[in-house]
Amino acid sequence: MDIDLRGRTAFVSGSTKGIGHAIAAGLARAGAATIVNGRAEDSVTGALDALRTRLPEADLRGVVADVATAEGAEAVRAEAPDVDILVNNLGIFSARPVLEIDDEEWRRYFEVNVLSGVRLARLYLPGMTERGWGRVQFIASDSAVVTPAEMVHYGVSKTALLAVSRGYAKAVAGTGVTVNTVLAGPTHTAGVEDFVAEMVGEDLPWDEAQRRFMTEHRPNSLLQRLIEPEEIASMVVYLSSPHASATTGGAVRVDGGYVDAILP
C-alpha cells in the first residue's frame, strides 16, 4: 500500500523514545512534516538526531513542552499552530497494588494519560474541521479492556481514552476528520524491559525474562511475544492516511490477540 503523507504536518506527543519515537519515524518516512515532543531539550535533540541519521531526507523538528499541563499544550500550539495529524501517545505506567494508589497518583495518571490528549485534541480539532481533513489518534492499550491487577490506575486511564476518542469522533462527524484509538498490546520498549524485570526478576537473560513475563503475566497473548514499537507505528501510519478515511470512532487493536474478543 502506497502511503503518501507529503503536505501534512504531524505532531506526536511523548515521542523521544519507545512507541512514540517509532510512530514519529513512520510518519516522517511516509512524508509528513513530523514534530517530535518531549519535556527535556536534550531528549528531544537526541531523538531528532537519531531520526535524521535514519531518515536524512525527512522533514523533522522538535517542540520541548510538558503536554501533561495546560501551559505545555498551549506552548505546542504556539510552536505548531496547524497540525493535520495528532497522535496522543504520551503515557506513564507502573506496577502498584491498587489499595496503595493515593489520590495524588490517580490525578497524575489522569493528567498525563488522559488530559494531555484531551487538551491537544481540543486545541487542534477546530483547525482540522475548518480545513476539512485531519487525523487524531489516542494510543491506548489492551489494559483499557483487560484491567491489569498490578496497575489498575493505568488501565482505568486507558479505558477513559476509549470514551474520549469516541466522543470526539462524534463531535467532528461529517467533517472529513477522523478520530480513533489504537489499542497497543504488550510492547517491547526500554520502559517495559524494566517493568518485566520488576515482575519476573532482574537476573534473568532477556529472552527468558520475556518468555516468563508473557507466560505468567500476559498469557492471553496469541502472539506469545512482546510487540515491537514499529508494529504499532504501522497501524498509526495507516490510520493517518487517506486510505483510512472510513475508519473513525473506532478502537483498533494491535495487541497480538491479547484481548479475548471477536469484535474490535
Assign 3-class secondary structure to 8-25: CEEEECCCCCHHHHHHHH
Continuous segment of H or E residues that includes residue 195: helix 190-200
Is 93:190 a contact under the CB 8 Å cutoff?
no
Residues 6+ apart with CB under 8 A from 129: 172, 175, 176, 177
Eight-state DSSP code of residue 227: B
Q: State phi, psi for 114 to the nearest 5 degrees.
A: -115, -60
Rounded Cα distance between 187 and 25, Å, is: 17
Is 46:90 a contact under the CB 8 Å cutoff?
no
SS3 203: coil
Is 88:116 a contact under the CB 8 Å cutoff?
yes
Rounded Cα distance between 240 and 242, Å, is: 7
Rounded Cα distance between 91 and 111, Å, is: 10
Sheet architecture: strand order including 251-254 = 60-64, 33-38, 9-12, 85-88, 134-141, 177-184, 251-254
124 is an active site residue: no
Determine which one of 154, 168, 238, 258 is catalytic.
Answer: 154
Active site residue ranges = 154
